């Protein structure tokens, strides 16, 4: 769950931890306008969560987190 948005665990695909440089790129030049953005300006790292739900046009969620590694690991376990 990010804010009011949520997704079932079965639709979570690849989860990628992003350092500050990777996050900066995916928020700008590599951005997909269909992506869901759960970002906060004060956090420079995060995760990219690819979605597998064919009914949803959203390719991925981009989520900022000061504990990106822990978030990525938690999502990979589920």
Residue identified by tokens 């970002």 is 39
Find all residues with CB under 8 Å of 8, minimum gap 6, and list them: none
Between the two ends of the chain, the Cα-to-Cα distance in Å is 13
Dig out the tokens for 13 from the structure.
Answer: 């695909």
pLDDT tens for the chain, 78 residues: list them. 677 888 899 999 999 999 999 999 999 999 999 999 999 989 999 999 999 999 999 999 999 999 999 999 999 876
- Give the max Cα distance, the chain: 33
DSSP secondary structure string for all residues of 49-72: EEE--TT----EEEEE-TTHHHHH
pTM higher than 0.85: yes
Return the domain boundaries, the chain: 9-77
């Amino acid at each position: 769950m990010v804010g009011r948005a949520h997704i079932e665990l079965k639709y979570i695909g690849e989860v990628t931890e992003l350092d500050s440089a990777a996050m900066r790129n995916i928020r700008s030049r590599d951005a997909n306008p269909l992506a869901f953005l759960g970002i906060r300006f004060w956090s420079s790292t995060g995760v990219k969560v690819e979605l597998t739900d064919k009914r949803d046009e959203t390719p991925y969620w981009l989520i900022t987190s000061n504990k990106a590694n822990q978030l990525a690991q938690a999502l990979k376990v589920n």
